[in-house]
Structure 1
């Protein structure tokens, strides 16, 4: 047990993840350790999930309908949702789907994307499935798991750059998972720069080159609903989707999550407000940190819901993490999991809660 995991993580069997410290803060204000939407949970979707509790004595639909269709129409509003829905699978969070897709890949080595570090659930799932970990440059790996935009570093590749990297670095037989969980923050035209839209390319790459690209999304971040567990994956072909679906346990997405999803997909106003406030909060937080801590370096695309901050010193970073937690505004340390002890991740939040975090960090100015 450590100060970071508060006993909630079994370090011998689980990979560290943020979002646990808030419940141990007697003076809790806001959780800056997670990358969820700073607007909080959409009210209409929350109301739908609460109302769905009245159906708790019934099984949820085994075909995920009508939520599956609602999500398909949300992903492909320009047309083709009916056809593309045949490639779409829902899961109990992205974590369930990550595990399922990895287990059907050709065995051997796995590699991460070329960024400095990325979300660690892919490493855990790959190792649990018997894959050995290799370097990002090892093109003999049969499994490539990359995150774009990359959490926690905040790197972002436009869709053409991501496609080129996959085409040029993957051998025949490779399974590729591209995690686009943070892609919707790009703005109203986010779908145009997403691999979700590249269905013809993915199908041709699978059938002609034997490179199978899956697009993973955790919806718990953009809609701030991590407690219900809600994810999706788009398969390169119907046959591959069916192969994974055959291994999925029935009813893996509960009634509350399904009704939440349908309502969230219909709430265009919530996303419009997200695209309005998030880049402003991001820019304001950068400016505040630059003024108070000019020696710190802030990383990440300007549209994202978090900042990846390098203090340049492990002791300073540890003090920042401790002070934030003591003030009821925990941040995500880069030491556990990522092994980057000079970094911490802080979510983008409105000014009233951001001021609490900045005040907690103020004594570390010039350090």
Structure 2
């Protein structure tokens, strides 16, 4: 049984990442973009031992703004995963149109919440200004990324006066140890200018479960434009929505600098290696089927996944099935993203990649 057979898309947006539950031979999960280093052990211990709520929000504020966290902590709100916060912001936004970021595909929860709230949906290439904009940057799954100067211009040129902008930076801290300099969380003057001159509210959302590989804990945050915006969200937020284990985990994990340093060091190296091995398979396919069959690979080098266009719907389906049977599931681009020739492959350590490559090499001459 696969994820698509048990997921009721009439009730929920397809998300993926559950194939491993149905595999008797599970080895490694290539379908999710969590950190390939696994969960930081110190934070995991803290989560297990937690009995009381800790001052996790202040700790996260120090992580986001090491130099002046006290000036901004009041605009920070924690949530039961990013999904809860996405829902809260979209529910409080003024009615009107909705548009995703400029990518041809992005994380679908934003569109689902826009649909639920009866918004007029515009396409990503629509040029008109919009009441509500939701941008995933870096974009999951395409791997596109706008540096801070570009995304500021894009926001200014696409939002209407009095509108709301949500920027999801869940994968942005993977950039490097200097990620804060290129994050909208550091753009205090820009956010103030939007609000004071255009009445535009800018929210920056993070799901922390990918960077710290703790998806089961449900841990997200949002940086609001002002304290009053934060209070407005908190007013409709379920009390104690973030459990004590998640709060204790957060309190500990934000101080684990060794883990992050290793993440920034290892991820690009392992990503480059898996990309080179996937390219070998693509080269072999091109020899058999011609240049038009050569795969294309997408995404910035610092990211924890590769977005692969295998150019053939049938091959993509076979590749997903082969990976699943080998115990190393990948993410199909068909459900959710509606990109049937694409497959998303997470960065994982080389010995696990061996299994995936062997499974896919068997398809070259099929």
Residue 150 of structure 2 is aligned to residue 158 of structure 1: no
Q: Distance in 2 between matches of 1:365 and 1:301?
A: 27
Match of 2:117 in 1: 129
Deviations 1:240-275 (A, max 9, x none): 111111111110000000000011101000000100
Deviations 1:29-51 (A, max 9, x none): 11111010000001011010111
Shift of 1:3: 3.9
1:147-226 superposed matches below 5 A: 147-226=136-215
- Structure 1: runs of 5 or more not aligned: none
Residue 262 of structure 2 is aligned to residue 264 of structure 1: no
Shift of 1:328: 0.6
Match of 1:68 in 2: 57
Residue 36 of structure 2 is aligned to residue 10 of structure 1: no
Q: Distance in 1 between matches of 2:35 and 2:225?
A: 29
Q: Secondary structure at the match of 1:364?
A: coil
TM-score by length of 1: 0.94
Q: Which moved more, 1:291-300 or 1:304-313?
A: 291-300
1:92 pairs with one of 77, 80, 83: 80
Match of 1:321 in 2: 320
TM-score by length of 2: 0.95
1:262-341 superposed matches below 5 A: 262-294=251-283, 295-341=294-340
Q: Which moved more, 1:39-48 or 1:290-299?
A: 290-299
Q: Distance in 1 between matches of 2:88 and 2:20?
A: 30
Shift of 1:236: 1.2
- Structure 2: runs of 5 or more not aligned: 284-293
Q: Secondary structure at the match of 1:337?
A: coil
Paired residue total: 355
Deviations 1:36-70 (A, max 9, x none): 00000010110101111xx2xxxx54xxx510000
Q: Secondary structure at the match of 2:202?
A: strand
Q: Distance in 2 between matches of 1:175 and 1:139?
A: 15
Match of 1:253 in 2: 242
Q: Distance in 2 between matches of 1:249 and 1:365?
A: 51
Match of 1:32 in 2: 30
Match of 2:44 in 1: 46
Q: Secondary structure at the match of 2:236?
A: coil
CA contact (8 A) 2:331 2:345 kept: yes
1:106 pairs with one of 91, 94, 118: 94
Q: Distance in 2 between matches of 1:153 and 1:135?
A: 16
CA contact (8 A) 2:130 2:158 kept: no
